[in-house]
Amino acid sequence: MAKPKQIIRPEDITICESTQQMISKARRDGVELFFDRAEELKPCPIGADSACCKHCSMGPCRMNPTDPYKRVGVCGASIDTIATRNFGRMVAAGTAAHTDHGMAMLELFRGVIEGTITDFQIKDHLKLGEVAASLDIETDGREIKEIAADVYRELEKTYTQVEGEIPLVKRVPAKTLETWRREGIVPRGAMREIMEMMHRTAIGVDQDYENLTKQISRTALADGWGGSMVSTDISDILFGTPSPVEITVDMGVLKEDQVNIIVHGHEPNLLEAMMVSTAAPSLQQMAAEAGAKGINLVGMCCSGLEVLSRHGIPHAGNFSSTEAALVTGAVDAMTVDIQCIKQDLHKVAGCYDTVFVTTNYRAKIEGAQHIELDEHDPLKCTDEIVIKAISRFKNRSHPIEIPRRVGRGVHGFSHEYIKYMLGGSFRGGYEPLNDNIINGRIRGVAGVVGCTNPRSKQDFSHVELVKELIKNDVLVVQTGCSQVALAKAGLTTPGAAALAGAGLAEVCETVGIPPVLGLGSCVDNSRILMAVAEMVKTGGLGESIADLPVAGCAPEWMSEKAIAIGQYFVASGVFTVFGHTFPITRETKFEKLLFEGLASKGLGSWGFADDPYEMARLMLAHIDKKRQALGIDT
């Protein structure tokens, strides 16, 4: 007799109560969610340990992860070659995603400079000036467009430069850059690095895991200090550098009596255009005539974080909640552009007659309607979507159940703002960050970032880890879906200082900041790089990023982009812990290199832990080790 299928309780799947409520509703409605498939589709244990190669048709070749050196592939590839190549291709894919996104922002910038795109403008002249100065571009007495054209030309090299160092390495602390030069990992343009990474991981090319790992670091650095950093800078120049703003999160931001439009994905331009469309008097009037009290624009995932940080637009939830938001029945339209968009959103939307629209030529979904966002006339796309959403509102035919929860917080902490807030400098102002680290009020700084993953209880590790860190006087900076988890848990309010250790609480209360600072979307991890670079340059905490009492963590990661981010932090000198899974076979030379060997070369290192308390323990131990080495072990 077949065993009855075990039904997992929603509270064992997620700590997000809104998502729990929607999982129960989806079950009642007979709608399958990705949580259900994660239960049914168990991961292949050989693939999970990255012990399988399918780089040619002599394979696929499967190694034995419990006895990794017992055999080699048909071509003779060892477990170290196989696992390193797999890891390298993840980094290449993640880097490609961030850099292609950054390049799209740069093309938009070029259109604005050339005057072919008129619906977007250069909004933040101060940031443009700062970026120009960081690239040694003259600004005195010059027209904005002239400066912008020079900035464009320099930043284009981030992608296309075939030899030599990309311009943004000027921002890297001298000693860190010296280490990169010694190791031969200073990046050229991302196109070159990704191309070489793909070449060297093909059958019969680079079969020395140490040599391959150098290219892995070089490729990842072309992302962090290249494509991602350009994306952040250009988005700030065009849409404004974030500064602290009060925000609301969770599914309670949806409104039963309004037309609800969710924008999900990664590119800020779609949401910026949607802000204009939803505010248009003619469309507001149309919504009113349909019986709506207004048009409610809401973000999800990283698109949402871009506009949450800049404009305080409400945010309905992170990666694991995107289907669940549709289950409310209250979403009249969901638009998506690129990255982290589950294919089955289209199907779930169909179950509730929600208008579901893809908008980017790079990312269509079979069967889904596509209304392309053309930056030359963006409102054509967004107006059409708003009209469709109003029509769906008018004809709503599904019962609506909106979870009532709304979390509040203060987000929008760019690295520029952190610097300003902490006294105009990371050291020497009225509440300098470096001095507070040196005097021990702040024990260290941790970046807690990244995705959620249906293979671990949604949000749990993010929240528990951050609670442990702030309790131990570690200031936490955040990007991506992680900060949505913390905002829902109420830890991004200044009042959360009550949960911090005495030293950190004192700093937070004096400056008026939360102990957990949301910095933006996943490309905005570049803001964390800039913050750590600034900490080194300010002085008192060593000469390279690897000397700092800082650590990073992606406790519930899932995307190849996360691996690229992790590797660029490690290559920059940061101890970086990943949770729940790590794509590597244990007890191999490649594992030893990533977890120990890179640090001995002056870079950072990887760490892994399965539960948030162990993640915190590893990070605190690293921070304390660095404090001791700096002689500030107070």
Give CA separation, 465 vs 211, 250, 553, 619, in Å.
Answer: 34, 20, 9, 10
State the residue for tokens 């001791």: 628
626-629-630 Cα angle (round to 5): 90
Q: Can residue 53 be called a binding residue for ligand SF4 (CB under 6 A)?
A: yes
Supply the minimum distance, in Å, between the C-beta of residue 114 and ligand MSK: 30
Binder of residue 302, out of ligand MSK, ligand SF4, none (CB less than 5 to 8 A by kind): ligand MSK
Binder of residue 216, out of ligand MSK, ligand SF4, none (CB less than 5 to 8 A by kind): none
Region near ligand SF4 per CB under 6 A, out of 15-23, 73-81, 381-389, 407-415: 73-81
Q: Can residue 55 be called a binding residue for ligand SF4 (CB under 6 A)?
A: yes
Closest CB to ligand SF4 among residues 61, 349: 61
Choose which of 56, 290, 379, 387 interacts with ligand SF4 (CB under 6 A): 56
Closest CB to ligand MSK among residues 97, 357: 97
Supply the minimum distance, in Å, between the C-beta of residue 309 and ligand MSK: 13
Q: What is the number of alpha carbons within 13 Å of residue 521 lying toward its C-beta?
A: 33
Supply the minimum distance, in Å, between the C-beta of residue 221 and ligand MSK: 19
CB 539, CB 437: distance < 8 Å: no
d(CA 223, CA 225): 6
Q: What is the number of alpha carbons within 13 Å of residue 479 lying toward its C-beta?
A: 25
d(CA 481, CA 329): 23
Number of residues that bind ligand MSK (CB under 6 A): 14
| Beta-ladder partners of 297 | 261
Q: Can residue 58 be called a binding residue for ligand SF4 (CB under 6 A)?
A: yes
Binder of residue 192, out of ligand SF4, ligand MSK, none (CB less than 5 to 8 A by kind): none
Choose which of 8, 43, 45, 54 interacts with ligand SF4 (CB under 6 A): 54
Supply the minimum distance, in Å, between the C-beta of residue 560 and ligand SF4: 19
Binder of residue 248, out of ligand MSK, ligand SF4, none (CB less than 5 to 8 A by kind): none
Closest CB to ligand SF4 among residues 81, 232: 81
Choose which of 93, 203, 511, 618 interacts with ligand SF4 (CB under 6 A): 203
Binding mask 525-564 for ligand MSK (x = CB under 6 A): ----------------------------------x-x---
Give CA separation, 107 vs 156, 159, 240, 337, in Å.
Answer: 9, 12, 17, 16
Binder of residue 522, out of ligand MSK, ligand SF4, none (CB less than 5 to 8 A by kind): ligand MSK
| H-assigned helices in 411-501 | 415-421, 433-438, 460-471, 481-488
Q: CA gyration radius for the chain?
A: 24
CB 170, CB 207: distance < 8 Å: no
CB 259, CB 287: distance < 8 Å: yes
Closest CB to ligand MSK among residues 346, 561: 561
Choose which of 74, 144, 174, 629 interacts with ligand SF4 (CB under 6 A): 74
Q: What is the number of alpha carbons within 13 Å of residue 616 lying toward its C-beta?
A: 19
Number of residues that bind ligand SF4 (CB under 6 A): 14
Closest CB to ligand SF4 among residues 47, 597: 47
Binding mask 75-114 for ligand SF4 (x = CB under 6 A): x-x----x--------------------------------
Buried b (16+ CB within 10 A) or exposed e, 381-409: bbbebbbbbbebbeebeeeebbbeeebeb
d(CA 493, CA 500): 12
Q: Can residue 59 be called a binding residue for ligand SF4 (CB under 6 A)?
A: yes
d(CA 554, CA 9): 25
**Tokens matching residue 581:** 């899974």
Q: Can residue 46 be called a binding residue for ligand SF4 (CB under 6 A)?
A: no
Residues 336-355 that bind ligand MSK (CB under 6 A): 340
Q: Compute, in degrees rounded to 10, the torsion defined by CA atoms 311, 315, 318, 323.
A: -140
Q: Can residue 302 be called a binding residue for ligand MSK (CB under 6 A)?
A: yes
Q: Can residue 480 be called a binding residue for ligand MSK (CB under 6 A)?
A: yes
Supply the minimum distance, in Å, between the C-beta of residue 72 and ligand SF4: 7
Choose which of 378, 423, 450, 515 interacts with ligand MSK (CB under 6 A): 450
CB 347, CB 311: distance < 8 Å: no
Burial environment of residue 434 by CB neighbours within 10 A (0 to 12, 13 to 18, 19 or more): buried
Closest CB to ligand SF4 among residues 58, 629: 58
Buried b (16+ CB within 10 A) or exposed e, 278-298: beeeebbebbeebebeebbbb
Residues 310-329 that bind ligand MSK (CB under 6 A): 318-319
Choose which of 10, 65, 73, 240 interacts with ligand SF4 (CB under 6 A): 73
Query: Residue 15 corresponds to which amino acid?
Result: I
Binding residues vs ligand MSK (CB under 6 A): 266, 301-302, 318-319, 340, 450-451, 480-481, 521-522, 559, 561
Binding residues vs ligand SF4 (CB under 6 A): 53-56, 58-61, 73-75, 77, 82, 203
